[in-house]
Chains A and B, each alone.
Chain A
């Protein structure tokens, strides 16, 4: 009997707690709703990405980059006269947690979703945004399926996009014909780029003489891979990987006396900042990246200046993508003439239509336009490292 009593008590407590939560959330939403109609509405933009764990550097960059854009827009009077409210939550680079983060933002009253930062979580979340018909713009989710529904768009190139663009760049500029590839088979980003690069290579007269992989458990010694590339007579080594491993590859190739050209994608961005890395080794490395932090145009210098002032470090391209994402959202809202009192679904429909018409110039591209699939059209930019600095290539 006593057990029964205590059980009832526990249940009652649990129930009140849950009801309490639900009611609070609703109350919060209601009060938000009333304040909106009363004192001028705001656009509520939510974002998510990993701010803890191994991938935190990307999530933090997106969070900070977008914050700079939001502050600028708010200081300049907002979008169509409405201020932006911006909320960024942690998704721990985990699909399950990303869905939780998205639901949490929905409870906060989010109308536009700027996320997620990484590919895997994005694939899971796009399913939910599609159900809710919420406008989604991912700054840096590169997987094909990350934007498979009509409500989702992206700022960066897709994985296949990067692979084909790299092949196109190498082939059309006649940089090399014999190419070796070293890629990370356990990484989605890296193997995704490699697969499409391989498919596209033939069309541009590129012969792949060696395709060597490594995994995240075994990424300190690359002499075998480099040896194979050397034996194959590679003129160029394509590195669709992140800069930490690329730095090791460069120094190991140097000590082997193997000096081909190196070509990478946006993952190599940041290689000059690696600690204890002799930047002279990176001399002549080419990389396809949408953003170079030391470009001298006004937009980039102002962004980099603000970012450095606030966070004491040079922004990576994720931050630039997020900064652009906020301005793209602004452009789409202005084009659609949307107002915050529209429902989430109406807002999405209006912005979907507007995305076909806008043309945005930002940090990561000039006159970017979007296709109905949500893919961005912009010129790939390649930079070459000359005298320890990124220099635009032509």
Chain B
């Protein structure tokens, strides 16, 4: 049964994870083509990609780098607003394809840059400072965007932190970012194909990073900082690398989010603390450091409340019970014992043993 091609364990695991996404994509596309998918499922395809990207990118910080980040939605927010702003500015003058490509690059770069700026002072420190600072960052970004007014007329761009009126625009000027009312009229460029491609790219970037030399250095820092330092690993540099990649990928998730809906507002609901925790929940339930688990957990947890819509008022109640149940199933020592005893793998292994005997 052994195959002749010699793949390393790491490559094989990467291929399985990416293959899983590709197969799911193909199956779903066939279902969409055959008209067998409900409107609800069709509408959920892009959000599924967004949250999977968010969970995978956060797992890079939490699982691989070993630092707690509570402001992941803040980076998503940066990516979403910069890219939506860009797309709105060039809505009339550029074709959709290149404009969206540029928007993705700009959103990702802006988020990575903000991650870098935050990381420079904070990642030099030991302890849980990153959690506190990212938490603050997420809230600050949200509040800045809520008082930011940007408009454009023939004289150029106008900014204000007070209200749209004090920008003194010409009467034909267009308000691009309207404070708390956010950005409206972003072109709907996101679709499932682009979402799936970006998810696969995210997976490849993260998995390859983990299995590369810098990745091993990053994990060495996570496991024992003093030992890593003693063998000459530049701690701050590698931490910064992982953290800004994580932030940049979150920004790309934000770009998808912004171009999936025609309205973009920075509310506590979508870019606040709650969202950061939600993504952290996907990561923890999927397994800290387990990239494939993050994808699966985010897909299940995004789908669950939507598929339970028939249950009306009870769905959120059931959702939270399921969350607790999953947490116990995944992490409690007794549950772990039980799973090992009755795992699929063991059952299959036993069967084959018997057959062989």
Contact = CB atoms under 8 A, between A and B. Distances in A.
B40 A145 contact: no
A99 B43 contact: yes
Contacts of B23: 11
Contacts of B146: 185-186, 215
Interface in B17-61: 20, 23-24, 27-28, 31, 35-44, 47
B180 A5 contact: no
Interface centre among B23, B36, B47, by most chain A C-beta atoms within 10 angstroms, is B36
B306 interface: yes
Interface string A7-21: 101010011001101
Given A185-B163, A215-B146, A123 B40 contact: no
B172 to A, nearest CB: 15
A191 B178 CA distance: 10
Nearest to B269: A94
A104 B267 contact: no
Given A120-B263, A198-B165, A186 B180 contact: yes
Interface residues of A, number: 55
Interface centre among B23, B41, B188, by most chain A C-beta atoms within 10 angstroms, is B41
Contacts of A96: 47, 257, 260-261, 270
Nearest to A9: B344
A147 B265 CA distance: 18
B154 interface: no
Interface of B: 1, 16, 20, 23-24, 27-28, 31, 35-44, 47, 143, 146-147, 163-165, 179-182, 184-185, 188, 257, 260-263, 265, 267, 269-270, 306-307, 309, 312-313, 315-316, 344-345, 348-349
A145 B184 contact: yes
Contacts of B257: 96
The B interface is mostly helix, strand or loop, or mixed, namely helix
Nearest to B44: A100
Contact of A195 (B44, B164, B265, B267): B164
A267 to B, nearest CB: 15
A92 interface: yes
A124 B306 contact: no
A25 B43 CA distance: 15
Nearest to B164: A195
Given A95-B265, A104-B309, A188 B180 contact: yes
The A interface is mostly helix, strand or loop, or mixed, namely helix
Interface of A: 1-3, 5-7, 9, 11, 14-15, 18-19, 21-23, 25-26, 51-53, 89-90, 92-96, 99-104, 106-107, 120, 123-124, 126-127, 143, 145, 185-188, 191-192, 194-195, 198-199, 213, 215, 217
A373 B311 CA distance: 37
Contacts of A89: 309, 312
28 contacts: A6-B348, A7-B20, A11-B20, A11-B23, A11-B24, A19-B36, A22-B31, A25-B40, A51-B313, A52-B316, A90-B309, A94-B269, A99-B261, A103-B43, A104-B39, A104-B40, A104-B306, A123-B262, A127-B262, A185-B146, A185-B163, A186-B180, A187-B180, A188-B180, A191-B181, A194-B163, A215-B146, A215-B147
Nearest to A15: B27
